Each structure stands twice: as structure tokens, then as C-alpha cells.
Amino acid sequence: MRDGIKIAKSGMPVVSLVTEDFWPQGDFVAQSVGMPTVPRVQLPHPVAGTGEARMQEIANNIVEEIVDRFAA
């Protein structure tokens, strides 16, 4: 989240990817650094370690949402 917010503050478009378990933390961080509406997309948890095929599947499932957020 912090990386996404830093990039956003530098003026570049950004969408943060946050897993389900860390979503509340994402809200907290976004709130605490004063950018509560920073764009973010929720991923299932976990992603790391789940294997190439599963990560591909997750990517396929969220790619449109990421593009939509950039286009919004």
C-alpha cells in the first residue's frame, strides 16, 4: 500500500494489489497517510507460494479490474 501511495503522490497512476487478509491493513495505511481513496484491487489470500498455475489464474481474474481502475 505504501508503495502505491508514494507512486500516487508522485503523480503517476497506480493501482495497489492487496490480498484479502491484508485488506483491513490496507485501509488503515491508506487512512493514516491521508489517501483513503487510493485505488486498490483485492486479491485472494494467499498468492505467494501457490504455484505458477494458480498465480496465472489469479492474474487472469483480476487483470480487467486493474485496467478498469486505471481507466476510471
Partner 1 sequence: MSELLEASNEEVALETLHEMGCTDGLPVVIPTEERVERLIIATGLDPDMVLGELGPGMGIATVEKVAVAAVMAGCIPDYMPIVIAAVKAVADPRFDLTEVQATTHCTAPLIIVNGPARFECGPVASGFGALGPGHRANASIGRALRLCLINIGGGKPGVSDMALLGHPGKFTYCLAEDEEASPFPPMHTSLGFDAADSAVTVLGCEAPHSVIYSDNADDPEDAEKLLHVLSIGLANIATNNAILASGTALVVLGPKHASVLERANMNRESVQKRLWELTHLPTADHNRYAGQFSRDFSDETYSAFAEPKNILVMVAGGSGLYSMVMPNWGGAAHANSAVSVEVDNNFFCEVPGLADGTRQL
Q: Which residues bind partner 1 (CB under 8 A)?
A: 21, 45-46, 48-52, 54
**Closer to partner 1 by Cβ: residue 28 or 70:** 28
**Rounded least distance, CB 68 to partner 1, Å:** 28
**Closer to partner 1 by Cβ: residue 22 or 62:** 22
Beta bridge partners of 43: 19
Residue (of 6, 27, 31, 9) closest to 18 by Cα position: 27
Chain centre distance of CA 53: 20
**Closer to partner 1 by Cβ: residue 22 or 39:** 22
DSSP assigned state of 45: S
